[in-house]
Amino acid sequence: MNPTEFASIRWRERDVRIEYVRIAPERTNAPLVVFLHEGLGSVAMWKDFPQQLCDAGGYRGLVFSRPGYGRSTPRDEDEHWDVDFMHRQACEVLPAFFNAIHLQEKPWLFGHSDGGSIALLYAAQFPHAVAGIVVVAPHIFVEDVTVANIEEARQAYLSTDLPQRLGKYHNSADSAFWGWNRIWLHPPFRRWNIEAELGAIRCPVLAMQGVDDEYGTLEQIQGIARQVPATQLVELPDCGHSPHRDQPEKAIVSAVTFIDLHRSSTP
């Protein structure tokens, strides 16, 4: 990947710095894949997976850290995200970031977990602004198994070296962890559900999930297919919540095959 760059956006009434990295920008005529990280992710936590996927498909890539994560501006200590936090990322942060870097083409979005949900919301809100989306272990509603494992993550953060390990990937581990953990465990968030919004999606969709996903059942991707019937589903055996780590070769082959199938029909 190329050196880290930073873009400035105005969000939540303050200036926010967004960390991002470009992959193979010299492939000027190649599709652009934008990677949207998970609830505790960042540019660095993707490691070399975006590079591997882009090299396999001959694509360009764009990897960035959302506000509160990685080397992007951390949350203020008194900043608490609300039930609509993923909607705000999709409808406010992502368009502002694209505008800040002068993105004028239709990207492909590759989103993992919360990043997958954000990709779905962006595609529903801006149906003509995206070439297609690959969502990996996305959430479209809240399940008991999700909440139970996020509660376990909270206990691990309070009682193990998890803060130190996360600190390798974030300027502020507390910013990344508590921004994500508190809202997912906030009782009103149990009613969060984006199924009804998915019907507005018009681009190709690939939804991928591990059969052994500890943060959600296969109802998450099957629910997408009910709302967007042309969705291609990939269910990976012997795979947990992170197919790009548990089954990277299969994740890459599935994504590249999907993008190449649809790119010829996408301006």
- Mean pLDDT in runs of 10 for the chain (267 residues)? 92 93 96 98 97 98 97 90 96 97 96 98 97 98 97 97 97 96 96 97 97 97 96 97 96 98 70
pLDDT for residue 1 = 72
* Structure token digits, residue 168: 């390798």
Q: Which one, of 162, 165, 157, 219, lies nearest residue 182 by Cα? A: 157
- In the block, tokens 């498909």 appear at 57
Kindly state the DSSP code that residue 93 receives in the 8-state scheme.
Answer: I
Which residues, in sequence order, are bridge partners of residue 193? 141
Quote the pTM value. Answer: 0.97
Q: Which one, of 148, 139, 110, 120, lies nearest residue 251 by Cα? A: 110
Residues 151 and 185: beta-carbon distance below 8 Å: yes
pLDDT for residue 29 = 93
pLDDT for residue 267 = 45
Which residues, in sequence order, are bridge partners of residue 11? 14
Residues contacting residue 93 through CB under 8 Å, at least 6 positions apart: 9, 11, 66, 67
Which residues, in sequence order, are bridge partners of residue 5? 20
Homologous superfamily (CATH) for 5-263: Alpha/Beta hydrolase fold, catalytic domain (3.40.50.1820)
Give the residue extent of every domain in the chain: 5-263
Residues 124 and 109: beta-carbon distance below 8 Å: no
Q: How far apart are CA 202 and CA 204, in angstroms?
A: 7
Kindly state the DSSP code that residue 141 receives in the 8-state scheme.
Answer: B
